Amino acid sequence: MADLVIRNARIVDGTGAPARAGDLLIDGDRIAAEVAPGTAPAAAREIDAAGRVLMPGVVDVHTHYDGQVTWDPELGPSSWHGVTTVVTGNCGVGFAPVRPDRHRFLIELMEGVEDIPGSALSEGIDWSWESFPEYLDAVASMPRTIEIAAQLPHGALRAYVMGDRGARNEPATPDDAARMAGLAGEATRAGAVAFSTNRLPLHTSIHGEPVPGTFAADDELLAIARGVVEAGGRLLQAIPAGAMGEDEHAMLREVDLYRRLSLESGLAVNFTLAQAHAFPHQWREVLDAVERANAQGARLVPQVQGRPAGLFLGWDIFNPFRNSAAYRPLARLPLPERLVRLRDPDVRAQILAGVGPADPTMVIMRNSFESAFAMDDAPVFEPHPDDSIAGRAAREGRSCEELLYDVMCDLAESSTGRQTRMFHVFFSGYRGGCLDDLAEMMAHPDTVVGLADGGAHCSMICDASLPSFMLQHWVRERTRGPRLSLEDAVRMLTSEPADLYGFEDRGRIAPGLRADLNLVDLDRVTLELPEIVSDLPTGASRIVQRADGWVATLCAGRVTFRDGKPTGEHPGGLVRL
């Protein structure tokens, strides 16, 4: 007798094959068999899928739960959106290896690069490790709702080996590189699933210091890569110089570096590729260069967005008026009291006059008025440019700054319960006022969908809801261009990221694989408005976003979530390759 039978399901198996009706039998933590609908024998536990979609658990390869994983067994918000495996240690930042006197350094690095409150990290992390293998053991000791896979971060490794020289991005000596290579091999043998590095100078600690390894020489990277390969590793994850559109030619130089690293070491290189508005066609040039490199025998895998990237904007998060001298005295007032003052015509005029042409926060907004949209009653997915602040201001004959100010007040006053109305500002992925570029990037055979950043950017975004976004928008609701088939969207969320990291036991529905599964009511998958919660250690805040339609999530054959609520089951552990 099977431990669990899921009856009458619409099975989408993660391979891209057409959906089919069937029953699924589960024994322990494994899929035992798939049989024709209505033919499964009785089981100790049964779920009637009633024709809903049964898909593999989502594999999210770009998260920053490196600290949160040590205190939080639930790991929301990613786990709320069907994610059953996450990869941490991205972007060259993380918390191991670490010397006892460098804890603060790594926290300030993570806070600056990934916008995770340093107070929460300081309070939440117990630092029961020094080496990377000891960190993995600490992560493995806590059961949780989902599975964790960890990468070895260059920033922590370099600071550990080179001390202040590494932190200051001084050149590594041959001995330094050899020591880093040896520790990379040790981490790989202990279960690190990849090595990650960050080459983007704009990614800095809270003190403005670039991530250690940002300017690493080719010889240093190649030595570490060889250390990983010799220990059985297969992947390097990178944030390239030029990833944020700050240099027109940097991305192509990076692709050539990754081509050489891949050919000389044998590693695959997974790197961030965004559609930057500053150079709107650059991504196509990069993909052309990737195709040429892969034809030579390299394995380059650009990681692309499944949704436009940007930030949320409001009075208590990214606030474009925060630097105005007239606003500063109001900043600490409770929001209802603050709104009364903000509505005062004299205060309003003073705040608007206080954001000059060189104000750095408002400069960001002035470059983004055409891609800033109010979330009145629901999230925005692919809005029309006419609905942007620029479009509305032109129709109403007002300045964009004035309209933004007034709508920010309206949204704050209309927020109710746990949902917060705010603006969504797109910085990439929205060229030409639509998401056609993202659709093309996702469909490219060399790319993998990711960049959800679960656990990070706590005051600005919540892209960890990517799986819900893809099912609701790309599969069901898109009207401004072709949709994705359900089968393709599921493949992009499951088997493709699993294959990239060599997770051979998940990402598909097939006998013998892990019973990491989602039962989804596709017609009901709906993203809610974001909310600001203060649930991190020390009461620090973050933005989270929930969704309806996830009927049940299973990890290792046990139901961890029902209708978006945790069941208390914690079958997840650490993935070691």
pLDDT reported for residue 399: 96
- Label residue 203 by pLDDT band (50, 70, 90): very high
Side chain identity at residue 312, one-letter code: F
**What are 27-67's pLDDT values in tens digits?**
999 999 999 999 999 999 999 999 999 999 999 999 999 99
Beta bridge partners of 144: 572
pLDDT per residue as tens digits for the range 516-527? 999 999 999 999
What percent of the chain has pLDDT above 70?
A: 100
Q: 59-308+435-501, which class in CATH?
A: alpha beta
pLDDT at 427: 92
Query: C-alpha distances in angstroms, 326 versus 322, 342, 423?
Result: 9, 10, 22
Read off the pLDDT of each residue in 276-282 and give the average, rounded to a whole number.
Answer: 86
* Torsion, Cα of 537, 420, 525, 83 (10° steps): -20
pLDDT at 417 over 80: no
534 φ, ψ (degrees, to nearest 5): -120, 65
Mean pLDDT of all residues in 295-313: 97
Q: How confident is the model at residue 247 (pLDDT cuts 50, 70, 90)?
A: confident
pLDDT at 416: 82
Please give the Cα distance from 537 to 543 (Å, whole number). Answer: 15
pLDDT of residue 509: 98
Signed CA dihedral, 280, 283, 284, 288: sign only: positive
Q: Is the confidence at residue 277, as pLDDT, over 90?
A: no
* Residue 132 main-chain phi, psi, to 5 deg: -70, -40
- Give residue-wise pLDDT tens across range 353-366: 999 888 888 988 99
Q: How confident is the prediction for the chain on average, in pLDDT? A: 96
Phi, psi of 414 (to 5 degrees): -95, 0
Confidence of residue 218 (pLDDT cuts 50, 70, 90): very high
Q: Is 80 exceeded by the pLDDT of residue 423? A: yes
Q: How big is the chain by its Cα radius of gyration, in Å?
A: 24
pLDDT at 285: 96
Chain-centroid distance of CA 455 in Å reads 8
Beta strands in 51-137 (DSSP E): 53-56, 58-60, 83-88
| Mean pLDDT, rounded, for 448-473 | 97
CATH architecture for the domain at 4-55+516-526+546-566 = Roll (2.30)
Q: How many CB atoms lie within 10 A of CB 248?
A: 13
The reported pLDDT for the residue numbered 555 is: 98
What pLDDT score does 219 carry?
A: 97
What tens digit of pLDDT does each residue of 496-516 get? Answer: 999 999 999 999 999 999 999
Q: Is the pLDDT of residue 5 over 80?
A: yes
Query: Which are the contacts of 416, defined by CB distance < 8 A and separation ≥ 6?
Result: none
User: What's the pLDDT tens digit per position in 370-404?
Assistant: 999 999 999 999 999 999 999 999 999 999 999 99
Asked whether 334 and 387 are in contact (CB, 8 A), the reply is no
Q: What is the mean pLDDT of residues 229-234?
A: 98
Residue ranges of domains in the chain: 4-55+516-526+546-566, 59-308+435-501, 312-428
Q: pLDDT digit string (tens) for 69-117?
A: 999 999 999 999 999 999 999 999 999 999 999 999 999 999 999 999 9
- Distance, in Å, from the CA atom of 517 to the CA atom of 57, rounded to the nearest integer, reads 4
